[in-house]
Amino acid sequence: MIYEKQTINCGGQLLDLSTPIVMGILNLTPDSFFDGGKYADLDKALLQVDKMLGEGAAIIDVGGMSSRPGAALISEAEELGRVLPVVDGIIRRFPGAIVSVDTFRSEVARLTVTAGASIVNDIYAGRFDEKMFEAVAKLDVPYIMMHMQGSPDTMQVAPAYGNVVQEVLYFFIEKIGQLRSLGVKDILLDPGFGFGKTVSHNYELLNHLHVFRMTDLPILAGISRKSMICKVLGVKPGNAINGTTALHMVALQQGARLLRVHDVKEAVEVIKLWKELEAVKQTSAT
């Protein structure tokens, strides 16, 4: 299947998604589930960005608020204080780098895009801030919307669905309609692995990730070092790279076009292996 939408416009740069790409995670929070506190210092953050870009990351996703289960809500001022200096630093140090801001606040989106970010990544899909969709339309940037049942402080209490794949798909269809009516051009979908889902829900979504391709929009898989791996393997996030790599291959085979990861080098290698498998498949079909 060929996607209708194979490129997204990131501040004048066309990013080609006909081949999967890697989004490197830059957490600026003290309490993220895996690397909390490691990159709160600007110099350390820029060193990590340099490493991720060198390993092949196409996008750097900068986040100033933890969204792990039970995470507390911080103020807009505190979020901006964490994110703005780093976005500005990345753009100054690495001209041409494509930066995504991981936020659900329209004003944070506006100010960070003004500072040089060119993608908005919203875990609430506009449910937290009713001004977000209009802001994204006005900013004219690609918008990644994620499905989440509940909010980070409650999402893992007792997640329940009749049919998780169907409900997530219907959620996206409704939101896509709203965004299109406002003129948003570039939309990407994140099914929200680990956000208001049990382990079984996560694997059901992964097994049916191809279903979301009917929207003709690129799919982002955010699986890296998450509890859906750790709980099955009985490991901590620090020892979940092998499981992450295994599930990344499944996500690619199911149609994911972006891998949002902590470990860029390993994800790039998975994509190279997937491309080889696809090339052989195409050869065998002719």
Question: At residue 9, what are phi and psi to the nearest 5 degrees?
Answer: -95, 110
Spatial distance between the Cα atoms of 253 and 207, rounded to a whole number of angstroms: 10
Length of the chain, in residues: 286
* Sign, Cα dihedral of 64, 83, 35, 98: positive
- The three-state secondary structure class of 159 is coil
- The three-state secondary structure class of 23 is strand
Q: Which helix (H) or strand (E) holds 90?
A: helix 76-93
102 with 145: CB under 8 angstroms? Answer: no
Catalytic site positions: 226, 260
Strands 143-146 and 187-190: parallel
148 with 123: CB under 8 angstroms? Answer: yes
Extended beta strands in 40-105, E state = 59-63, 99-102
Question: Residue 261: beta bridge partners?
Answer: 24
Q: What is the DSSP letter of 193?
A: T
Q: What is the DSSP letter of 52?
A: H
Distances (CA, A) of 149 to 168, 226, 251: 9, 17, 21
Spatial distance between the Cα atoms of 111 and 89, rounded to a whole number of angstroms: 14
Q: Tokens for 13, please give them.
A: 């740069």
